[in-house]
Chains A and B, each alone.
Chain A
Amino acid sequence: MTEPAVLPKDPCADFASAEGRAHFARSLDCVHCGLCLPVCPTYQLTGNEASSPRGRIYMMRAVADGRISAEPGSTYDNELHFCLVCRACETVCPSGVQMEALVEHARCEMNKKTGPPSRARRFLLRTVLPDRKWLRRAADATAIYSKTPIGKILRKLGIVDWLFPGATAREALMPHVPKREHRRDLPALLPPVGEKRGRVAFQEGCVASQLLQDINEATVRVLTRNGWEVSLWKNPSCCGALHAHAGDLEFARELAKKNIEEFEKTKADFFILNSAGCGSHIKNYARLLEVETGWLHRAKEIAAKTRDIGEFLVETGYKPRNGPRALRVAYDEPCHLVHGQRVSAQPKQLLQSIPGLQLVPLAGATDCCGAAGLYSLERTTDSMAILDGKMQQIRASGCEVLATGNPGCILQYRLGARRAGMNLQIMHPIQLLDEG
């Protein structure tokens, strides 16, 4: 593809503007073949091409060419936000269309027209997620809200909905918040067990640090048991993927730079993530920072050292698990692992190496679960429609445990199991490998 050499500084220069066309050039890869239609979860729901990758790109092009205007509230706007950024279309697209990049950019541009985001949204994205202190407060508040009478009173007074419009209606989505002692920060440096093979950096993640710390503990246990010294930093506590997807490219860039600096300080050989979404985003830092002078090579370097935990263990070799786990396990492939990072065989290989574990086939394993970052909060009906379809396939697989490697998906499936009344354990593959 012929891409102009000079990219604009403005993270979301208008598609139609002279400099925005450089971003827009990515959409020109689309040859309108339609091969992406059937894999798109939103097209599967509606059968409407405006909700398909091809349709979305077509509308973006029309905006760039000035054939339509990108008004907030238009179908174009709606379809931009209906997209899950699951990237399933990228896997099947023979022309190498970069849907994620296109949607992030188009959303960024749309945000400028829609005006400033709601108080709650801005607070969540810019204050809570990047800061461990705030994350902890938010988790504490959620626990108090859902487990004590205070919540009831606030709800009755309407304060909750005033702060977070529509929040009480979404209470069923609220995840279980573990007790405080189960969400302690990990130490900044963890020594390897036995001979040291090298040092890796690890990030606990924003949501996961509060809700899924047991998975983080299992991850570092496996890493240290395999001879890796593990180095961590607290802040920024978030990679910025949620920001980029929401079109807040400016802040996403800031977070990316800070994370790069922190990573460089650790002097680690690798950067390990157990969250598919974070891994995928960090591997994309170079795209995010391509126009920032002095950052491109640093972004490329961190990307080259970034590995998903499953990818890493298979690549570098690992001690197999000793104790058997006689479980029927289905593996669901997180979008941002299989489509975002093209990592598919390794997690299955890990699972298969566990004595006694039976890996059962799962239809639709590479389809999105509907979690998609903030999507399940913002487009709950669509998200649940997608989730309920997935739960049927999971039920049909006859598994006892569903293994998947992304915090958002794990929380979504726990919700799905509750909704479907299923007695199903949802785990990260690393927890199955871990013997701690």
Chain B
Amino acid sequence: MAHSTPVPTSHADPVVQELVAALGENSVAADRDTLLAYECDGLALYKQRPRMVIWPNSTEQVSAAVRILHRFGVPIVPRGAGTGLSGGATPVENGALIQLSRMKRILDVNPTDRMARVEMGVINADLSAHVARFGLAYAPDPSSQTACTLGGNVAENAGGPHCYKYGATSLHVLSLKVVLSNGNITELGSPDADPIGYDLRTLFIGSEGTLGIATEAWVRLIPKPEIVETWLAPFASMDAACKAVSSIVASGIQPAAIEILDDRTIAAIEASVFAAGYPLDAAAVLLVEVDGAPIEVGRDGERIRGICQQFGALNIQFARDEDERKRLWKGRKGAFGAMGRVAPDLYVMDCVVPRSKLPAALDAIREICDRYKVRNANVFHAGDGNLHPNISYDGRDADETKRVLAAGEEIVKMCVALGGTLSGEHGIGIEKNIYMPLVFGAGELDAFANLRRAFDPDGLMNPGKVMPAALCGEIAGAMKR
């Protein structure tokens, strides 16, 4: 690395010494302030300082580092950009962080076969920007796409507004190069054909850094749609907005994205740099996008407008050119950060209910948050019933923080009771591991634990994440026996 910033390292730690010898002085840090800066990821509710941070610049370096850590029995937490919202990249006690921020090369683009080979530290939006010259794009578009890494996307099976039509990360990754917990390098899947035998690639996607560290992948690219139309429909009630969504889906139209924002989110957005001209007097706005061939898009767009009007939408806005579309999306994409204006900290939740239960779930969320006296706003991928309740709070206020956590717990339980599940796209991490028994029985949890052990017999990969700590304890106990 060509920079003069010294990364002071605590050489007192023998593990650090070995890592420095293997990777170089600039690739490891264990000083007080650097460790502090890594205490948490996008979920600031939980904090833990790591023992060291490692920045490899190749698969071989990842493997070398993992071998050393494995030998010393040091737990390992992989990290991309740390935008994750379930604490997946939060360090574990005495553990190492391996961050792939220096592995950001796009190694190969094959426009004919529409695929690309990328390192896992590549930023999601950079890939789409890079392949745009071929008329191609990488489909999964999490709202954090300007910052999050493809490795983090793989680990969380990230989705985005447009995944309603195109599918989440798992449908767009052809093969993975992975470093296992003992340092061995292996390939999962193949860019050329569907895998024969067990599809370990799909198993790995969504494993939240518990099965190994992905370092490289072949990913699928899609041709950019011929035209795109975006509609913004304001509604006087949330119920009407949700009914419009159900009706659009029932009509057989396949929109590229269907998003809903509630009035409190609109208010926060309009007060921020992301102000997009959303109507402040609406109870909810629906953002629908259709893409494809001109005839199809024209016809679907008209039908969507008709349905929205039928449910009482007024002053529907329409965008076809790139600038206008960007403006309509700007608010949605910036909703999270705009909430930062409301209070010093923000807890972004992620849970799923059946689409028909959306209005009931939203009423319940508001009731719960009001009861705990915490400030809530909601934005969600309405097409797949994926809710993102946002709770603003001040982390320095212990009592408020406690109320936030309690409200969060009730919201999760309520969603499960409505027939939904724990997470749509942000993963389980440490945020929701204790809720796993709400949706899985003992037999299933046991199967998960066994599977995890097959990949990571010593329990070093992101321990305590995804599965409740108690269960992991049982695994450790079982191993001793």
A277 CA to B3 CA in the complex, in Å?
25
Q: Is the CB of A96 within 8 A of B341?
A: yes
The answer to the question of A49 belonging to the interface, with a C-beta cut-off of 8 Å to chain B, is yes
A291 close to B (CB within 8 Å)? no
Known contacts A38-B81, A96-B272: does B55 contact A48 (CB below 8 Å)? yes
Stretch of B29-37, B185-193, B241-249, B417-425 contacting A (4+ beta carbons < 8 Å): B29-37
- In the complex, the answer to whether A32 meets B81 with C-beta atoms within 8 Å is no
Determine the chain A residues whose CB is within 8 A of the CB of B346 once the complex forms: 31
Knowing A33-B83, A75-B32 are in contact, say whether A50-B338 is a contact too (CB < 8 A).
no
- Which of A279-287, A351-359, A379-387, A405-413 is the contact stretch? A379-387
Docked Cα-Cα span, A33 to B40, in Å, equals 11
Q: Which of A354-407 contact B (CB under 8 A)?
A: 379-382, 385, 388
CB distance from A390 to the nearest CB of B (A): 13
Q: Which residue of A lies closest to B271 (CB)?
A: A96
Say how far B178's CB is from chain A's closest CB, in angstroms.
Answer: 21
Q: Which residues of A contact B40 (CB under 8 A)?
A: 32
> Which residue of A is nearest B123, CB measured?
A38
Contact call A94/B81, Cβ cutoff below 8 A: no
The answer to whether the Cβ of A313 comes within 8 Å of any Cβ in the partner chain is no
Task: Contacts A47-B101, A382-B3 given; indicate if A59 touches B33 (C-beta within 8 A).
Answer: yes
Closest to A70 in B: B33
> Assuming the A-B contacts A32-B42, A94-B272, are A50 and B340 also in contact, with contact meaning beta carbons closer than 8 angstroms in the complex?
no
The answer to whether A251 has its CB under 8 Å from any CB of chain B is no
Main secondary structure of the interface of A (DSSP, over half): helix
> Is A72's CB within 8 Å of the partner chain B?
no
Q: In the bound complex, how far is the Cα of B82 from the Cα of A31, in angstroms?
A: 13
- Given contacts A34-B42, A35-B83, A48-B7, whether A55 and B336 have CB atoms under 8 Å apart is no
A75 CA to B83 CA, complexed, in Å: 23
Chain B interface category by residue count: 35 or more
Complex CA gap A108/B361 in Å reads 50
Known contacts A35-B147, A75-B8, A94-B272; decide if A68 and B33 are in contact (CB<8 Å).
Answer: yes
For residue A67, CB closer than 8 A to chain B, the reply is yes
| Cross-chain contact of A47 among B6, B31, B33, B99 (Cβ < 8 A) | B99
Bound state CA distance, A64 and B431, in angstroms?
Answer: 27
B3 with A33: CB separation less than 8 A: no
Interface residues of A in 156-195 (CB under 8 A from B): none
Say whether, besides A1-B341, A33-B42, A381 and B6 are in contact (CB < 8 Å): no
Asked whether, in the complex, the Cβ of A48 is within 8 Å of the Cβ of B272, the reply is no
Q: Which residues of B contact A385 (CB under 8 A)?
A: 2-3
Asked if B270 is at the interface (CB within 8 A of a chain A CB), the reply is no
CB distance from A264 to the nearest CB of B (A): 32
Shortest Cβ distance from B390 into chain A, in angstroms? 10
B144 at the interface (CB under 8 A from A): yes
B306 CB within 8 Å of chain A? no
Taking a contact as CB atoms closer than 8 A, the residue among A59, A65, A94, A379 that contacts B37 in the complex is A59
B39 within 8 A of A: yes
Given known A-B contacts A33-B144, A59-B36, A75 and B4 have beta carbons under 8 A apart: no
Kindly state the separation between the CA atoms of A322 and B38 in the bound complex, as whole angstroms.
57
Measuring CB to CB, which residues of chain B are less than 8 angstroms from any residue of chain A? 1-8, 29, 31-34, 36-42, 44, 53, 55, 81-83, 99, 101-102, 121, 123, 126, 144, 146-148, 272-274, 334, 336-341, 344-346, 394, 396
Residues of A within 8 A of B (CB): 1, 28-38, 42-43, 45-52, 54-56, 58-59, 62, 65, 67-68, 74-76, 78-79, 82, 92-96, 379-382, 385, 388
Sample of 12 further A-B pairs with CB below 8 A, known A32-B40, A47-B55: A33-B83, A33-B336, A34-B147, A35-B146, A38-B81, A46-B5, A47-B99, A58-B39, A74-B31, A96-B341, A381-B4, A382-B3
